């Protein structure tokens, strides 16, 4: 059997992925609630009928459906309000797809091969491990023979215990003739008649970064198919604030913490990076000679571009999901209020008018119709929502100290940083909470100490990146949106205010 | 024989003469001693040149005396009858010379005036001094947790600040709003903005020109101390005055 292959260069493949993303983001809510339709599973890479797709992969989407419904049920269940610690997801007993990921077989003996292959294998494994949609089968259960081609796969060796895998990812990888080439497959090892779910080939110039990118692309293809048609995040990036250069500047890294690099070099204090939905611009707040101003940085031109200085203290910009507007906090009128302006700074008008400090607005990134924000109008800061025209201001949090809301891509949830019980003798801890907006039910996500703040959702809605002092100083951490799979991403200097790219 | 006797005679005469002369002088000794002249009264003069100096400079004292056996200057001690000496008094001093002799004693004085440390130095140095005075006299205003209103016990600081700033109408300044380390970066920057504005408003309503006051928030970006306890947090919750050059 010969695999169906796509000869994709890097750029072509990216375009392909983006197109898919546009389709799926429109149907986000559907994906979460009414999970996977066979049609969505029926990818062109898989020449199978809907019936075959149901037979081959249908069991797993059903498991996922149960999994996610149970997550949502848990969020809604009023009884959970009284509980302090809730683990949602697989630890409740629902199984995820058991995926075996064989180390890829070297396809050449080029001296660069070993290091690049290790990078590739590690990156692919990590991408799938943190994806939250599969359960990786431990490598110690794998057959000794490493499959590099479809003909090498002995199905029972993978599908029977001990591996007991439902799916197998395998392939070969090597440098030949100055080109790095990877061939990869995803096999449904329990369907020996029509096992192939995916077959891909990538070619690039050999480099460590290229090996990473190829692993990310392949991982995203697998996650797209096993994760209910929601694109993976392996090629997303995270912007953040780091003081490692001696000043607080804006930095960026790959979503897994690799490839950290400095974006701004202003030598002042720069905070609150927010990347635009299309990834072309970065809005942030910086201390200038005239005070705190909103700054605009072009990620295409790699330089600051014009944005008017507004006077007063201007903080915490947030992009509307269409990329045409910014919401931010400004004290130009005397007191810090939420303002909205066009992305070029024009057409400025205020949304709130109260005596408390109003800050940290964030748009509903699915609909663009609401804005969540923080206000100290009643004393300690609380999280509110309002329509994006400023009407219908609703308080979401009932007590304590609540800040830093971030709106989930599906539009249904907020994650926020909250000291639920603050008072003398009860200092409480700043932890992250997930809140269902319609019902105001919440679930606590972090329990492990330190101050946890500045959460930001991944584009797939499955992950949350945040800052935490649990290691002793402020660093960036990532977890699944149910609080599991914690992973520290930064280790140098103090790193805060992560902002996940929109795709 | 006769010749020898002459020689003897001469010898005797000479010896006799010598003897008689010696006897005579002894007997003639007491010419009445001249009555000791009535001892002359000593004279003394003392002068200082220059007579007026700046603190730290020196002046030269010069003095002449006569008929004096014992000359002293207060604060210097015994000195020669005539002489001069440099002195570096720190305060205005009257030098007092006493010349004593058998004819009595004589006094003389000279005054060296010391101009004290140049009073508040000339206007050239006015800038830094204003700044020094500003930092010495203007008190920061402290806030309660999560509050941006000037609390009662800080009104005294505000009053003192207003008084000083009214007396030094040329001084422009910035009020920085600071917060403690707890809570979010963004909310603290907004809170710090409200604190700085609250201090500015209190000053303006007490008559300070609004154009003299700038405000800026540092949130929790520039803490004064970094311990995690209430004493330090209180230090960091403040409106901090900064002189504006």
What is the per-residue pLDDT for B88? 83
Query: Is A493 domain-assigned?
Result: no
More confident residue, A411 or A61: A411
Closest Cα partner for A174 from A120, A255, A99, A212? A120
Residue from B189, B194, B198, B219 to probe the interface with A (highest A Cβ count within 10 Å): B189
Query: What is the C-alpha to C-alpha distance for residues A452 and A456, in angstroms, rounded to an integer?
Result: 12
Domain residues for the domain of A325 are 265-454+468-474
What is the per-residue pLDDT for A3? 41
My answer on whether A199 and A130 are in the same domain is: yes
Residue from A336, A352, A406, A474 to probe the interface with B (highest B Cβ count within 10 Å): A336
What's the average model confidence in pLDDT over A274-280?
A: 97
Q: Which of A334, A403, A430 sits opposite B197 (nearest CB)?
A: A334
* CA angle (A300 as vertex; A256, A255 as ends), nearest 5: 5
Classify residue A31 as left (phi > 0), alpha (psi -120 to 50) or beta: alpha
Closest Cα partner for B132 from B12, B243, B207? B243
Instruction: Kindly report which listed range (A94-98, A306-310, B69-73, B179-183) carries the lowest average pLDDT score.
Output: A94-98
User: Is the pLDDT confidence value at B23 over 90?
Assistant: no
Any B CB within 8 A of A286 CB:
no
Instruction: Please count the structural domains in chain A.
Output: 2
Q: Which residues of B touch A336 (CB under 8 A)?
A: 190, 193-194
Q: What is B43-115's CATH topology? A: Immunoglobulin-like (2.60.40)
Query: Is A61 domain-assigned?
Result: yes
Query: What is the C-alpha to C-alpha distance for residues B171 and B8, in angstroms, rounded to an integer?
Result: 122
**Helix boundaries (H) for A148-276:** 155-159, 208-226
What is the per-residue pLDDT for A205? 96
Residue from B193, B201, B228 to probe the interface with A (highest A Cβ count within 10 Å): B193
Chain B residue closest to A373 (CA)?
B187
CB contact under 8 A, A360 and B146: no
Note the pTM of the prediction, 2 decimals: 0.73
Residue A299, preceding peptide bond in cis (omega within 30° of 0): no
CB contact under 8 A, A403 and B186: yes
Q: What is B124-244's CATH topology? A: 60s Ribosomal Protein L30; Chain: A; (3.30.1330)
CATH no. for residue A349? 2.120.10.30
Kindly state the tokens that stand for A173: 């990888």
Task: Please report where in the chains the tokens 């504005």 appear, as a residue.
Answer: B197
Residues in CB range of B93: below 8 A, 6 or more apart: B75, B87, B111, B112, B114
Tell me which DSSP letter residue A426 carries: B
Query: What is the C-alpha to C-alpha distance for residues A220 and A226, in angstroms, rounded to an integer?
Result: 10
Give residue B33's pLDDT band: very low, low, confident or very high (50, 70, 90): low
CB contact under 8 A, B186 and A271: yes
What's the average model confidence in pLDDT over A312-325?
A: 97
My answer on whether A272 and A147 are in the same domain is: no
In terms of Cβ atoms closer than 10 Å to its own Cβ (0-12, 13-18, 19+), residue B15 is exposed
Mean pLDDT of chain B: 83
Give residue A174's pLDDT band: very low, low, confident or very high (50, 70, 90): very high
Query: Is A442 domain-assigned?
Result: yes
Q: Which contiguous run of DSSP H or E holds residue B99?
A: strand B93-101
What's the average model confidence in pLDDT over A106-133?
A: 94
What is the per-residue pLDDT for B42? 82
Domain with CATH 3.30.1330.60 in chain B: 124-244
β-bridge pairing B52-54 and B104-115: parallel
Query: What is the C-alpha to C-alpha distance for residues A444 and A77, in angstroms, rounded to an integer?
Result: 13
Query: What is the C-alpha to C-alpha distance for residues B184 and A400, in angstroms, rounded to an integer?
Result: 13
- Judged by CB atoms within 8 Å, which residues 366-395 of A form the interface with B? 374, 376, 379-381
Q: Which of A269, A315, A453 sits opposite B190 (nearest CB)?
A: A315
Helix (H, G, I), strand (E, B) or coil at A370: strand
Closest Cα partner for A436 from A407, A471, A401? A407
Any B CB within 8 A of A490 CB:
no
Q: Which of B185, B193, B216 sits opposite A336 (nearest CB)?
A: B193
What percentage of chain A reaches a pLDDT higher than 70?
80
Give the count of Cβ contacts less than 8 A between chain A and B.
Answer: 78
Tell me which DSSP letter residue A80 carries: G
Q: Which of B146, B185, B194 sits opposite A271 (nearest CB)?
A: B185
Q: Which contiguous run of DSSP H or E holds residue A442?
A: strand A442-444
Query: Is A245 domain-assigned?
Result: no
Residue from B184, B221, B222 to probe the interface with A (highest A Cβ count within 10 Å): B184
Domain with CATH 2.60.40.10 in chain B: 43-115
Kindly state the tokens that stand for A63: 């498991």
My answer on whether A204 and A324 are in the same domain is: no
What's the average model confidence in pLDDT over B171-197?
A: 96
Task: Please report where in the chains the tokens 């090597």 appear, as a residue.
Answer: A174
Helix (H, G, I), strand (E, B) or coil at B194: helix
CATH no. for residue A169? 3.40.50.10070
Any A CB within 8 A of B185 CB:
yes
What is the sign, positive or negative, of the torsion defined by CA atoms of A392, A396, A401, A402?
A: negative
User: Is the pLDDT confidence value at A148 over 60?
Assistant: yes
My answer on whether A337 and A398 are in the same domain is: yes
Residue A56 phi/psi, 5° resolution?
-75, -50
CB contact under 8 A, A376 and B183: no
pLDDT digits (tens, 9 = 90+) for A374-422: 999 999 999 999 999 999 999 999 999 999 999 999 999 999 999 987 7
CB contact under 8 A, B191 and A401: no
Query: Is A501 domain-assigned?
Result: no
My answer on whether A12 and A92 are in the same domain is: yes
* Exposure string for B203-236, b = 16+ CB within 10 A, e = fewer: beeeebeeebbbbbbbbbbebeeeeeeeebbebb
User: Is the pLDDT confidence value at A78 over 90?
Assistant: no
Give the Å distances, CA to CA, from A43 to A8, A57, A198, A406: 16, 12, 9, 32
Q: Which residues of A touch B200 (CB under 8 A)?
A: none
Query: Is A309 domain-assigned?
Result: yes
What is the per-residue pLDDT for A204? 96
Q: Which of B191, B216, B221 sits opposite A357 (nearest CB)?
A: B191
Give residue A58's pLDDT band: very low, low, confident or very high (50, 70, 90): very low
Reduced to 3 DSSP states, what percent helix, strand and coil does chain B have, rounded to the nearest 5?
Answer: 35, 30, 35
CB contact under 8 A, A272 and B185: yes
pLDDT digits (tens, 9 = 90+) for A330-348: 999 999 999 999 999 999 9
CB contact under 8 A, B184 and A329: no
My answer on whether A179 and A282 are in the same domain is: no
Query: Is A231 domain-assigned?
Result: no
What is the per-residue pLDDT for A455? 98
What number of other Cβ atoms are within 10 A of residue A35's Cβ? 18
CB contact under 8 A, B146 and A379: yes
CB contact under 8 A, B146 and A248: no
What's the average model confidence in pLDDT over B6-26?
A: 61
Mean pLDDT of chain A: 85
Give residue A449's pLDDT band: very low, low, confident or very high (50, 70, 90): confident
What is the per-residue pLDDT for B100? 82
What is the sign, positive or negative, of the torsion defined by CA atoms of B232, B234, B238, B241?
A: negative
More confident residue, B44 or A376: A376
CB contact under 8 A, B187 and A357: yes
β-bridge pairing B59-66 and B43-49: antiparallel
User: Is the pLDDT confidence value at A8 over 70?
Assistant: no
Kindly state the tokens that stand for A209: 């970064």
What is the per-residue pLDDT for A67? 52
More confident residue, A356 or A138: A138
CB contact under 8 A, A336 and B194: yes
What is the per-residue pLDDT for B171? 94
Q: Which residues of A touch B190 (CB under 8 A)?
A: 313, 315, 329, 331, 336, 357-359, 376
User: Is the pLDDT confidence value at A21 over 50?
Assistant: no
Residue from B144, B188, B190 to probe the interface with A (highest A Cβ count within 10 Å): B190
**What is the DSSP track for A353-367?**
--SS-EEEEEE-TTT
Task: Please report where in the chains the tokens 């930001």 appear, as a residue.
Answer: A456
What's the average model confidence in pLDDT over A207-235?
A: 94
- Judged by CB atoms within 8 Å, which residues 257-276 of A form the interface with B? 269, 271-272
User: Is the pLDDT confidence value at A35 over 80?
Assistant: no
User: Is the pLDDT confidence value at A27 over 50?
Assistant: no
Give the Å distances, CA to CA, from B33 to A96, B27, B29, B30, B36: 145, 15, 10, 7, 8
User: Is the pLDDT confidence value at A7 over 60?
Assistant: no
Query: Is A450 domain-assigned?
Result: yes
Task: Please report where in the chains the tokens 């906090």 appear, as a residue.
Answer: A329
User: Is the pLDDT confidence value at A247 over 50?
Assistant: yes
What percentage of chain A reaches a pLDDT higher than 90?
75
My answer on whether A279 and A384 are in the same domain is: yes
Closest Cα partner for A321 from A438, A231, A411? A411
Residue A287 near residue A268 (C-beta atoms within 8 A): yes
Closest-CA distance of chain A to residue B216, Å: 6
My answer on whether A221 and A333 are in the same domain is: no
Closest-CA distance of chain B to residue A252, Å: 19
My answer on whether A197 and A271 are in the same domain is: no
Residues in CB range of A141: below 8 A, 6 or more apart: A100, A162, A163, A164
What's the average model confidence in pLDDT over B193-211?
A: 96
């Amino acid at each position: 059997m010969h695999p169906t292959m796509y000869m994709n260069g890097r750029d072509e493949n990216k375009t392909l992925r983006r197109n898919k993303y546009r389709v799926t983001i429109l149907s986000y809510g559907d994906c979460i609630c009414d999970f996977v339709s066979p049609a969505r599973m029926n990818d062109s890479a898989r020449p199978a009928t809907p019936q075959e797709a149901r037979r081959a992969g249908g069991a797993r989407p059903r498991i996922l459906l149960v999994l996610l419904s149970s997550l949502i049920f848990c969020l809604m269940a009023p009884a959970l309000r009284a509980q302090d610690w809730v683990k949602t997801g697989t630890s409740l007993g629902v199984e995820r797809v058991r995926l075996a990921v064989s180390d890829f077989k070297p396809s050449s003996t080029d001296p660069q091969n070993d290091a690049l292959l290790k990078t590739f294998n590690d990156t692919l494994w990590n991408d799938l491990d943190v994806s939250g949609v599969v359960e990786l089968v431990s490598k110690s259960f794998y057959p000794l023979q490493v499959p590099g081609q479809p003909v090498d796969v002995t199905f029972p060796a993978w599908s029977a215990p001990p591996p007991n895998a439902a799916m197998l990812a395998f392939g070969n990888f090597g440098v030949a003739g100055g080109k790095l080439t990877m061939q990869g497959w995803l096999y449904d090892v329990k369907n020996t008649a029509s096992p192939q779910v995916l077959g891909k080939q990538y070619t690039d110039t050999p480099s460590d970064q290229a090996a990473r990118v190829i692993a990310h692309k392949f991982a995203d293809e697998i996650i797209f198919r096993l994760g209910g048609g929601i694109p993976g995040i392996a090629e997303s990036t995270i912007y953040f604030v780091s003081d490692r250069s001696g000043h607080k500047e804006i930095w960026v890294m790959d979503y897994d913490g690799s490839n950290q690099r400095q974006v701004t070099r202003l030598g002042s204090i720069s905070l609150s990076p927010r990347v635009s939905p299309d990834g072309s611009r970065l809005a942030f707040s910086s201390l200038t000679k005239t005070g705190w101003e909103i700054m605009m940085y072009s990620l295409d031109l790699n330089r600051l571009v014009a944005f008017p200085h507004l006077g007063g203290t201007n903080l915490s910009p947030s992009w509307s999901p269409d990329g045409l507007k910014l919401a931010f906090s400004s004290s130009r009128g005397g007191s810090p209020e939420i303002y909205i302006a066009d992305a070029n700074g024009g057409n400025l008008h205020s949304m709130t008018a109260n005596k408390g400090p109003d800050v940290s607005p964030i748009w509903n990134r699915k609909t663009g119709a609401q804005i969540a924000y923080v206000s100290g109008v009643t004393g300690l800061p609380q999280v509110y929502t309002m329509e994006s025209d400023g009407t219908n201001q609703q308080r979401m949090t009932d007590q304590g100290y609540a800040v830093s809301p971030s709106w989930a891509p599906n539009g249904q949830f907020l994650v926020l940083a909250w000291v639920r019980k603050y008072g003398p003798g009860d200092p409480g801890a700043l932890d992250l909470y997930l809140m269902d907006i319609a019902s105001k039910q919440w679930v606590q996500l972090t329990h492990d100490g330190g101050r946890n703040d500045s959460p930001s959702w991944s584009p797939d809605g499955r992950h949350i990146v945040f800052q935490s002092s649990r290691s002793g100083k402020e660093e960036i951490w990532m977890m699944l949106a149910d609080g599991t799979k914690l992973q520290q991403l930064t280790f140098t200097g103090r790193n805060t205010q992560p902002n996940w790219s929109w795709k | 024989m006769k010749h020898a006797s002459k020689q003897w005679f001469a010898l005797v005469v000479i010896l006799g003469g010598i003897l008689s002369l010696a006897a005579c002088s002894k007997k003639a000794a007491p010419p009445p001693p001249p009555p000791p002249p009535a001892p002359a009264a000593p004279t003394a003069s003392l002068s200082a040149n220059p007579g007026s100096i700046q603190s730290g400079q020196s002046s030269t004292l010069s003095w002449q005396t006569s008929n004096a056996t014992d000359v002293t200057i207060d604060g210097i001690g015994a000195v020669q009858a005539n002489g001069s000496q440099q002195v570096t008094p720190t305060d205005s001093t009257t030098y007092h010379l006493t010349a004593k002799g058998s004819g009595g004693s004589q006094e003389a004085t000279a005054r060296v005036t010391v101009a004290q440390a140049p009073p508040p130095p000339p206007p050239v140095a006015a800038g830094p001094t204003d700044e020094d005075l500003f930092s010495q006299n203007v008190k920061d205003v402290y806030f309660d947790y999560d509050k941006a209103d000037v609390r009662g016990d800080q009104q005294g600081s505000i009053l003192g600040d207003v008084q000083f700033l009214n007396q030094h109408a040329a001084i422009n300044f910035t009020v920085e709003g600071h917060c403690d380390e707890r809570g979010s970066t963004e909310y603290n920057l907004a809170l710090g903005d409200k604190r700085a504005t609250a201090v500015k408003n209190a000053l303006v309503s007490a008559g300070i020109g609004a154009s003299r006051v700038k405000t800026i928030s540092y949130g929790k970006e520039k803490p004064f101390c970094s311990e995690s306890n209430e004493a330090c947090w209180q230090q960091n919750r403040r409106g901090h005055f900064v002189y504006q050059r």
